[in-house]
Structure 1
Amino acid sequence: MNKFLYRRGGAEGYLLDLAELQRIGGNEVAYFGMTHPDNDSPLRYAEHFPSYVELEPPPRGLRPRLAAAGRMLWSPASRRGLARVIADFAPDVIHLHNIYHQLSPSVLAAARAAGVPCVLTLHDYKLACPSYQMLDRGMVCDACVGGGPLHAARRRCKDGSASASTLLAVESWIHRQLRAYGPVGVFVSPSRFLADVMRRAGVYPDRMRVINHFVDTSAIAVKPAPGGGVLFAGRISPEKGVDVLVEAVAAVPHGTTVDVAGDGPALPAVRALADRVAPGRVRFHGRLDKHRLQALIRSSAVVAVPSRWHENQPMAVLEAFASGVPVVGTDLGGLPELISPGVDGEVVPAGDPAALGAALGKLVADPDRAYEMGRAARSKIDSQFTPELHLARLRDAYRAAAAPDLAGVHR
C-alpha cells in the first residue's frame, strides 16, 4: 500500500521492485493506493481507490482546502475502499509504505477490523516530524522528536507558513492522541539512524526493526575500467545540496565534469549558479530512465550525495555501489552507515563545498584508487544488500506482525 503507485521516487521504486521479487518468489501481490493518472496499469482494485487529490500545492478555495485537510486527518473513502479489497483479496499481511495525507491512517482501522496484520516501512521522518524532513527553513532540526509535534506550529517549519505548519502539527498530534498507528505490528526502518529517531520520539520502539533496502544486481553491470567524472543523481531540491556540489566544482581538477541527472524545484536556481561559478563544467541531463542512468553511473569515477538533511537510506548510494562506483556523502542521517571512509567512499561535513570538492578531487585525480574503492562497494552490496537476504528479513517481520502476542494490535 502506498499513496502513489508509479515510480515517483525512491519509496515507490522500492515498493514496485519488492512486489516483483515477491511475485517471482511465488507470492500473490495486490496494490492499494490513491487514484492517480500516472499510476501503473492495469491495477486489479483501482475502482476501490480513493479519489485523486493534489496537496503540493494545496487546492485553491476554502472548501477544497477544508476537504483536503479533513482527508489528511481521516479518510472514510480510503477505509471503505480498503475494506472492500480485503474482503475480496483476503491478504495474509498488509505491507504499508507512504500512506500519510492522501490515504491517512484510516486504512489501518480497516485492517484492524478485518484482523489483518500490518507492517509499515518508514521512508521518512513523518511519524516523528510533522513536516517529514527534520528541517526548519533549510536547517537541521529535531525539536519535534523530543518535544512533540506542536513545535512545528510554533516554529512555522513548513515553508515558513503558519497555516501549513499548524495543520501538519495538529494532524500529527491528533493521530498520536488516537494512537492511529497502533494497528501496525512491525515498523521497518531501513537505517539505524531513522530507527533511533523514532525511538526517541516514542514511536512504538518495541515494534521497530532495522532492515536494509536491497539491490538486485542481476541486471546491473559493473564499471568496466577506471576513469570518469562526478555524478549527482536524484531530486534537485534544496535539501539535496546540489548547489553545494556546484560550488565544490572549483576544488575539483580543471576539466573534470559534473553530471547532474534529475529534476526538481531547485533546478533553475542550480542552473543559474552553475553558469555563474562553473561555466561549462556542469551538464544537466534531466530525468533519465533506469538503463540510461545506470550507464551514466558506470561512466563516472565517483557519485556525490551532498545532502544537507538526514537522508534515510538513499538508493542513489546503493545503486552506485552496485555499479562499482564509490560515493562521497555527507555526515547526516543514514549516510555514514553506508559508506566506509577510505574503503568504498568518503564522508564529509554537510554544507562544506571545500571539503566536498577536496574529497571528490582526490578520487577523480586517482582513477585507479577510485576504481578499487568501487570494487569494494560492489562487494558490500553482494554480501549485505541482496534480495534474498531482504526477503528473508521481511518474512520474519511479517511473521512477527501476525504473532499471537500482537493479536490485540490487529483485531
Structure 2
Amino acid sequence: MRVLHIIQRYPPAIGGSEKWCGDLCRYLAKKGIITEVATINLDNMEAFFKWLPDERYSLFGHHDYDQGVFIKRYKLWSFAYRTLGVKVACFLLYVIGLEHTQIGDVFQHSPHSFEMYFKLASEIKKADIVHLHTLPFFHNLVGFKLAKIFKKKVVITPHFHPGHEHYEKKLFYDMMKRCDAVIAVSAFEKSYLAAAGVPEGKILITANSIDREIHVTKEEFESYKNKLIKVYNISENAKKIIFLGRKQKSKGILQLIEAACELAKEVEEQVCLFLVGPSNQEFPGIDSFSDKPANLKLIDFGVVSENEKECLLQISDMLALPSKFEAFGIVFLEAWKFCKPVIGSDQGPIPDVIKGAGLQARYGDVGDLKEKLKQILFDSKLAKELGEAGREKLDREFSTESIGRKVLSTYHQVRKSKKRLLLVANQFPPHGGVSGSGIVAYQQGRILEKMGFDVKVFAGSRIQKKEHYRVTREKWPFDILRINLHDIDYDYNFVDYGKHRLKAEFKKFICECAPDIIHFHNAYAFGPGIFEVCRDMHIPSVVTLHDYNFICYKNILVTDQQVICEKKDLECRYCYERPFNRDDYVITLAERNRFYMQYLHLSQLLISPSRYLIERFIACGIPPEKCAVINNGIDLSRFNHAKKPISRKVRFTYIGQVIDHKGVDKLLHSVSLLEPEKRRKIFLLIIGFGDKLYDELCRRLTREKGISDIVKFAGEIANRHIPRILSRTDALIVPSLWPENSPVTIMEALASGTPVLASDIGGIPELIQDGVNGYLHTYNDTETLTANIRKVIEQPQTLKKMKQACLAKAQEYELSKQVREIARHYHRLIENA
C-alpha cells in the first residue's frame, strides 16, 4: 500500500500536528506501508510573515528520509504578504471575485508552494490513499481536489480548533463530509464535528502520543540543572512553572504571566516561569514586563532542542497551558512523561484530555489561574498525585502503537483496491524454460490475479552476452521487471552476498509498486541479501522452498560421494571444503550455510510443497510455527483426460533438466539392461536442457549402449506443449538422484492421468504410491528401475488401471485449492504486519 501525506510542515519543524504526522508516518513505514510526505520547506510558521529571506526559515533538504518515510520538501512561494507576488495573487483573486470569499481568505492566510501544487498530481496518481493534515491551509483543498479527480481514497486529520475563525468555514466542513474518513484526536473534536454535520460513522478517534523514552542521561541533566541555577540565580526552594508552545495570545501566555505576577506578590518564595517555544508579533517579549515582582523570574528560552526540553521539564514543578484553541494539547503528555502535574483551560478538548491528571482554569480568568497555580505549587501531595495519575494515563491511553493500529485499520477499510503481490523468481515464463519453480510462480500468479490480487513480478533473465544487471520491463503476462543475470550468479562456488546494484533495483521496484506482501520462489541467483530489503522496508515476505539452497551449497543435499546427505544441522561433514569468495574473504561451508539461514529467518512464512523438505529445514533450526506444507498445485484444466492414442510401443518420457543429479544417465543404463526383445517394445523421449557436457555424455552413452534407435533427445520444449507431450506418453520416468521436493513434472503427469516411475527419495513418495499410481525404485539403483520398466512392458494394462488413481491424486492438489490456502496466509500476514 502507498500512502501520500500532505502537510504544511514536517518534523523537525515543531508543532502538535507535525509531531502527530511524523510519529504516524514512521509507524506506517515500520509496518511495510510505502509512506511518502509532500510538505513545504518551512521550519517555523511564524517565519512565513518575515520580510527578508534570511529571516524567514532554515532550509531542510529538498529530499529527506526519516526512518523509512520518503519526504519531499517543496519551495515556499513567497516571503510575506507585502511581496509583489502575493499582491499580484490577491489582485487576481479580486478580479475574479474571490478575494473576500472563503477560498480567497484561505489562500491569503496560507503558506504556498506552487512547486508542490504542480507536482502533487503525479504524486497522488501513484498513491492508494491520500492523507491530509491540518485543516486551515490551502494545500488541503488542492490535495483533496486532485485526489477526487484521480478517484483516490482521502483521509483527513483536521486537528480542528473549535471556534477558530480560520477553521470555521463551510468549505472545510463540506470537504470533511466528502472525505472517506476523518481522524479526530479527541472525543470532543469528534462530537463537535458530528454536530456540525460531518457523518459520525466517518469519524475515528485516535488521541495523541509521544516518545516515552528519556534521552537525557542523569549526568547531562545534573550538569544542565546546575548551569541553569547558576546563570539565572534560581533559589533552591523556587517554584518553577513551564509553558510549552507558541507564544501567541490564544495560548493564554499573557494571562499566565499576569497570574504568575499575582502569585509572586502573595508568596515569599521565588517563582520562575520558563517560556519555551517560538515567538511571534503577538508576544511583546519579557522586557515589557518591567513592573513584575522582584521574586518573579521570567525566562524566555525560545525554541530548544528535545534534550534541553527534557531537562527543563524535569527541573520544573508543573506545566501550564491555559489555551483557548487546542486540537489536543500534546504538551500535557510531555509533562506527564516526567510525572509533572498540569493546568489547562476549560476550552475545547482540554478538559477531557487532562481529566483526573490536572486542574482546569477558566480561560481568560487570571484570578482562577493564579489560584490553580498556587494549589499545585504549594500542595506537594496533590502535585504528586496528579503527576503520577498523568503518567498512568499516558501509559494507558496515549501510545503511537494504538494510534497507528487505528489509522492503519482505517486505511484498510477505505481502500477498496486489490491487495498487491510481488513475486520474485530467478526465472519466470516465458523465459523460465522448464524450470519448475518458475512455472509454479507463474501458475500461482495467474490464479492469485483471478482472486483479486494485483500481481507484479521481479525476475531474472540469463543472457551472458548482455550487460550484467541490465533492467528490462515487460507487460505480459504480468508487469515484470527483469534483471539480467550472468553464469556467475548461478555458480555455487562464488557468492556475492551484497549484490548492491541488484538490491538497489529491487528496492526501487518495491517503492514503485508498493506491494502488500512479497513471495520468493527459488531466488538464490539474486543472493541472500535481497531478503534484507524486505526487512528494512518492513514488508512481510513468504518463501516457497523448492530445494535445499539455504542449507546446502549444492542445492541438492547430495555429498561429494554421490549419496544423499542425512545431516540434521548446518555442518558439511561429507563434502570437501570450498572457498566462497567476495574478492576479499573466504568462508567455510558451515559459515556459508549459517549466513544463508540468517537471511531465511527474516521471512515470516516458509512454504514447502512436501513434508520431507520442511522437516529437513526444521532439523536445521527453522521454527515449526513459521512453516506450512502446501503443495505447489496443478492446473487440471490444461490437461486432456481422453484416451491416449494407440501405439505399438510403450512410450516413456523424461521431462526435466539434463544434469547429473537428475539421473538421466542412470535411466539410459536401465534401458540398456533390458532384453533386446523388450527394448524393441519401448520408445524413450528425453525433453529438457541443462549442462552441455552432461548432455553430450548422455548422447554418447546412448550410442555406446546401442539404444539410439529407441531414444530421442528433443531438447527444450515450452511448457505450454507439455500437455500434448503427456497425452502421447504411457509412463513418465523421474530417475532423480537427489531428494526432490515436489517435482512439477510429476504433478503434470498425475493431472494427465499418466503413471510415474520414480525414485523413492525426498518428497516423491508423498505423490507416488508404489503399485497404485506408479512404481518407485531405489534411487541410484539401475536394476530396480529396469525391473519397473520391465513390469510396464509386460503388463501394459496396469497403466490403464493406474490412470484413475493418478487423476484422483491430482484432484487433491488442484491449483486453485492450493492457492486459496496460500492467499489465506497472505491475508493473515498482511493483517499482522
> Quick one: which of 207, 211, 228 aligns to 2:626?
207
- Partner Cα separation in structure 1 for residue 536 and residue 490 of structure 2: 34
- For the pair 1:111 / 2:534, whether they are aligned, the reply is yes
Change beyond 3 A, Cα 1:303–1:58: closer
1:222 to 624, 634, 641: 641
CA distance in 1, matches of 2:744, 2:480: 29
Instruction: Tell me the residue number matched to 1:283.
Output: 712
Q: Report the Cα offset of residue 259 of structure 1.
A: 1.5
Q: Which residue of 1 aligns with 2:822?
A: 394
In the other structure, the counterpart of 1:52 is 485
Aligned: 1:139 with 2:562? yes
Q: Is the 8 A contact 1:301 1:364 kept in 2?
A: no
| Structure 2 counterpart of 1:239 | 661
Q: 1:130 to 1:205 in 2, by over 3 A?
A: farther
CA distance in 1, matches of 2:700, 2:461: 37
Cα distance in 1 for residues equivalent to 2:706 and 2:726: 21
Q: Which residue of 1 aligns with 2:432?
A: 7
Structure 1 runs (4+) deviating above 6 angstroms are: none
Cα contact 1:223–1:324 (8 A) shared by 2: no
Matched, 1:180 2:622: no
Q: How does 1:5-404 map to 2 (within 5 A)?
A: 5=428, 6-8=431-433, 9-34=435-460, 36-37=462-463, 41-42=474-475, 44=479, 46=481, 52-55=485-488, 69=495, 72-100=496-524, 102-137=525-560, 139-142=562-565, 145-149=567-571, 151=572, 155-156=575-576, 169-176=590-597, 179-222=598-641, 224-225=643-644, 228-249=650-671, 250-251=673-674, 253-255=678-680, 256-265=682-691, 266-279=694-707, 280-382=709-811, 384-402=812-830, 404=832
CA deviation map 1:76-97 (0-9, x unaligned): 3333333322323221111112
Q: 1:35 to 1:268 in 2, by over 3 A?
A: closer
Q: CA deviation at 1:34?
A: 4.0
For the 8 Å contact 2:669–2:782, the answer to whether it is kept is: yes
**Given that residues 50 and 77 in structure 1 are in contact (C-alpha distance below 8 angstroms), is that contact kept between their aligned partners in structure 2?**
no
What letter corresponds to residue 486 of structure 2 in structure 1?
Answer: V
Q: Distance in 2 between matches of 1:368 and 1:269?
A: 34
Q: Could you tell me which runs of 5 or more consecutive residues in structure 2 were left unpaired when the two chains were aligned.
A: 1-423, 467-471
C-alpha deviation, 1:99, in angstroms: 2.4
Structure having the higher Rg:
2
**What is the identity, as a one-letter code, of the residue corresponding to 2:503?**
R
Amino acid at match of 1:350: Y
TM-score (norm 1): 0.85
Return the alpha-carbon distance in structure 1 between the equivalents of residues 546 and 720 of structure 2.
24
Amino acid at match of 2:637: S
| Greater share of strand | 2
Deviation at 1:345, TM superposition (A): 0.5
CA-based RMSD of the aligned residues comes to: 2.8
**Cα 1:33/1:290, change in 2 over 3 Å:** closer
CA offset at residue 120 of structure 1? Answer: 0.6
Deviations 1:306-336 (A, max 9, x none): 1111111001111111111100111110111
- Most deviating of 190-199 and 279-288: 279-288
CA gap of 1:397–1:235, structure 2 versus 1, over 3 A, is same
- Deviations 1:205-246 (CA, angstroms, capped at 9, x unpaired): 320110001111112112514653211111111111111111
Deviations 1:33-55 (A, max 9, x none): 34655988347463xx6663331
Q: What CA distance in whole angstroms lies between the structure 2 residues aligned with 1:293 and 1:83?
A: 36
Whether the aligned pair in 1 keeps the contact of 2:758 and 2:764 (CA below 8 Å) is yes
Distance in 2 of aligned mates of 1:57 and 1:109: 20
- For 1:277, the aligned partner's letter is K
Greater shift in the superposed pair: 217-226 or 343-352: 217-226
User: 8 Å contact 2:448–2:823 — kept in the other structure?
Assistant: no
Kept in 1, the 8 Å contact 2:685–2:713? The answer is yes
Give the C-alpha shift of residue 275 in structure 1.
1.3
The one-letter amino acid paired with 1:112 is R
Counterpart amino acid of residue 698 in structure 2 = V
Q: Secondary structure at the match of 1:391?
A: helix
1:73, distance to aligned residue in structure 2 (A): 1.4
Report the CA distance between 1:182 and its aligned residue.
2.8
**Maintained 8 Å contact 1:127/1:203:** no
Shift in Å, 1:110:
2.1
- Distance of aligned partners of 1:84 and 1:371 in 2 relative to their CA distance in 1, 3 Å threshold: same
Residues 1:350 and 1:278: Cα distance change in structure 2 (over 3 Å):
farther
From the superposition, tell whether residues 353 and 106 of structure 1 become closer, same or farther in structure 2 (CA, over 3 Å): closer
Structure 1 stretches lacking a partner, 5+ long: 60-64
Contact 1:130–1:169 (CA<8 Å) still a contact in 2?
no
In the other structure, the counterpart of 2:342 is: none
Superposed displacement of residue 369, structure 1 = 1.6
Tell me, what secondary structure is at the counterpart of 1:81? helix
Partner residue in 2 for 1:62: none
Task: Report the Cα distance in structure 2 between the residues aligned to 1:310 and 1:278, rounded to whole angstroms.
Answer: 30
Once the 2 structures are TM-superposed, how far is the Cα of residue 131 of structure 1 from its aligned partner? 2.0
Query: Please, what TM-score do these two structures have when normalized by structure 2?
Result: 0.43
Shift in Å at residue 170 of structure 1? 3.8
User: How far off its partner does 1:21 sit?
Assistant: 1.7
Assess if the C-alpha contact under 8 Å between 1:131 and 1:168 holds in 2. Answer: no
Report the CA distance between 1:31 and its aligned residue. 1.2
State the Cα distance separating 1:258 from its structure 2 match.
1.5
CA distance in structure 2 between the partners assigned to 1:217 and 1:175 by the alignment: 36
1:111 to partner: Cα distance: 1.7
Q: How many residues align?
A: 384
Inter-partner Cα distance in structure 2 for 1:296 and 1:364: 20
Determine helix, strand or coil for the equivalent of 2:485.
coil
* Superposed displacement of residue 372, structure 1: 1.9
CA–CA separation in structure 1 for the residues paired with 2:427 and 2:436: 12
Name the structure, 1 or 2, with higher relative contact order (CA <8 Å, separation 6+).
1
